[in-house]
């Protein structure tokens, strides 16, 4: 996957595959195989509640090594997990290394990360999912030497959002997703162009309208689709059958 078009095709092809799957087990297996291409050996899709709430009731799909999951839960590592803490205040995807902490002042954080490394989870990447009601969730993955190419991370960002939406739909949590038939033709057109990687300025030139008007349509589509950002709006529009890519 050396070119941008390859990453984009991979992401949308995988979305098509995930859309056809009927069970959570099928989604987990397909995601595991797809992420392995980028050097990730494990992943988890979960809600991220504020401590002291425990994380177990919020886990949707768990492909962490069994031993790590057991230790993480038994020792109640969640309140001291620096990656989870960073996720709860970030709306942008990030590498685990960006979740910095002072090991002397927060020794339990260092313990969490050392434990993860012991199970082969040395480097990771996290895709936050922020809903308009403020609920935080995430799709996070890790391995020994994952591919952190910027284009790869963009593709995984899109796939992570869609995988979370698929998990929610299959498991029936957080209520119903966005209904189909709620967008106008102009909103669909603009989201389709965003899915193709176009900026607001690009779209304004293509459609012959102002960039401000493009952003207004994007904001309205985001509200209708319960999306916190334009990437999530594209994912929710695809899931709802509003656009096809």
Mean pLDDT, rounded, of the chain: 89
Judge whether 4-171 and 185-239 match in fold: no
Per residue in 16-63, pLDDT (tens digit) is 999 999 999 999 999 999 999 999 999 999 999 889 888 988 899 999
DSSP structural state of residue 97: G
Residue 157 pLDDT: 95
Task: Evaluate whether 108 touches 80 at the Cβ level (below 8 Å).
Answer: yes
Architecture of domain 185-239: Orthogonal Bundle (1.10)
What is the SS3 assignment for 59? strand
The H-assigned helical ranges of the chain are 4-20, 24-36, 66-74, 82-87, 107-118, 150-171, 185-195, 200-207, 211-224, 230-239
Task: Identify the CATH assignment for 4-171 out of 3.40.47.10, 1.20.120.530, 3.30.450.80, 3.40.50.880.
Answer: 3.30.450.80
pLDDT tens digits for range 50-96? 898 889 888 999 999 989 999 999 999 999 999 999 999 898 999 99
pLDDT at site 244: 73
- Whether 84 contacts 119, CB under 8 Å: no
> Of 245, 129, 241, whose CA–CA distance to 179 is shortest?
241
Phi, psi dihedral angles at 121 (to 5 degrees): -100, 70
- Give the start-to-end residue ranges of the domains of the chain: 4-171, 185-239
Residues in the chain: 245
Q: Is the pTM of this model over 0.85?
A: no
């Amino acid at each position: 996957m050396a070119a941008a078009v390859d990453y984009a095709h991979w992401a949308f092809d995988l979305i098509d595959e995930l859309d056809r799957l009927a069970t959570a087990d099928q989604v987990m297996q397909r995601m595991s195989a797809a992420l392995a291409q980028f050097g990730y050996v494990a992943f988890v899709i979960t809600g991220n509640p504020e401590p002291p709430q425990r994380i177990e009731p919020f886990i949707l799909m768990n492909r962490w090594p069994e031993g790590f999951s057991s230790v993480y839960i038994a020792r109640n590592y969640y309140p001291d997990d620096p990656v989870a803490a960073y996720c709860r205040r970030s709306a942008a995807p990030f590498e685990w290394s960006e979740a910095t902490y002072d090991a002397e002042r927060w020794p339990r954080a260092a313990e969490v990360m050392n434990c993860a490394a012991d199970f082969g989870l040395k480097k990771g990447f996290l895709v936050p999912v922020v809903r308009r009601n403020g609920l935080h969730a995430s799709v996070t993955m890790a391995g020994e030497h994952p591919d952190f190419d910027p284009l790869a991370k963009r593709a995984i960002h899109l796939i992570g959002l869609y995988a979370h939406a698929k998990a929610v739909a299959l498991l029936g949590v957080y209520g119903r997703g966005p209904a189909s038939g709620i967008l106008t033709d102009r909103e669909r057109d603009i989201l389709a162009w965003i899915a193709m990687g176009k900026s607001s300025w690009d779209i304004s030139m293509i459609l012959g309208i102002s960039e401000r008007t493009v952003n207004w349509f994007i904001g309205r589509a985001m509200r209708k689709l319960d999306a916190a950002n334009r990437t999530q709006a594209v994912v929710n529009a695809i899931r709802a059958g509003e656009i096809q890519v």
